[in-house]
Amino acid sequence: MSLPHAILALLDFEKSSGYDLAKRFNSSISFFWSTTHQQVYRELGKLTEKGWVEFESVSQSEKPDKKVYHITEAGHDALLDWLNKPAPAARFKEPMLIKLFAGRLLSREALHEEVDAHENRHRKTLGYYREVEQRLKAAPGEVKRRYLLPYMTMRLGIRLEEAWLEWIQEVREVLNEQKDPLQKD
C-alpha cells in the first residue's frame, strides 16, 4: 500500500482538512499503515500537484484559514487503477522482535521491561479498537453498511492485538523459565 492511495481512500469517504485527515488516519487505518502529520501534509501537496485532490479554503475566526481537501475524478480513477492491481505481500517489521532475538545480550530485567511496555501498548490499542467496534455496532444501519469493509480491516487489527497479547504471555513464561517451547509437550 502506498500513502497516496491511503489518503485517496480516506478522502473518498469524506472530504477533510489536512489536520482532520491525519486524525482520521490515526483512528482508522494506522494499525496497518502508519504515517505522521507531516507526511500527510507533504503528500496532500503532491496529490494536489497531480490533480488527484483539490481543496477549498475555509475562513475561520480566531484561527488561520484551513484547506478542506476532496478527491477529484482523476484521483478517483487513480485510486481505482491502484485498487485493481494485485497487492504485494507485506513484509513484517517489528523492532521489539529484534530486541527479543538478541535478548541474550540484555539483562532479564531489561527484557521484562521491554515486554511490559509492549504489552501495555497492545492492550491500549486493543481497548481502542473494541471501543470503536462498540460505537460502530450501535450506529444506524446506513453507517454500518458504509463502514462494513473498513470494519473488517479493524477486525484483523483486533485479532492481531489479541495474538500479540497471547504471544507475550508465552514470552513471559520463557523469560521466567517456566516453559521451554522446544521441548515436546
Q: What is the pLDDT of residues 37-79, one digit of tens each?
A: 999 999 999 999 999 999 999 998 888 889 999 999 999 999 9
* Nearest-angstrom CA–CA distance, 124 and 154: 15
* Nearest-angstrom CA–CA distance, 36 and 22: 7
User: pLDDT value at position 24?
Assistant: 87
Q: What is the pLDDT of residues 1-20, one digit of tens each?
A: 589 999 999 999 899 999 99
- Specify the CATH class of 3-83 in words: mainly alpha
* Nearest-angstrom CA–CA distance, 104 and 71: 51
Burial status of residue 135 (CB atoms within 10 A of its CB: 0-12, 13-18, 19 or more): exposed
Element (H, E) at 166: helix 148-175
pTM metric for this prediction: 0.77
In 3D, which of 55, 26, 54 has the Cα closest to residue 40?
A: 26
For residue 85 the three cell numbers come to: 492491481
Cα(first)–Cα(last) distance of the chain, in Å?
Answer: 41
Give the position of cell 482523476: 74
User: pLDDT value at position 64?
Assistant: 87
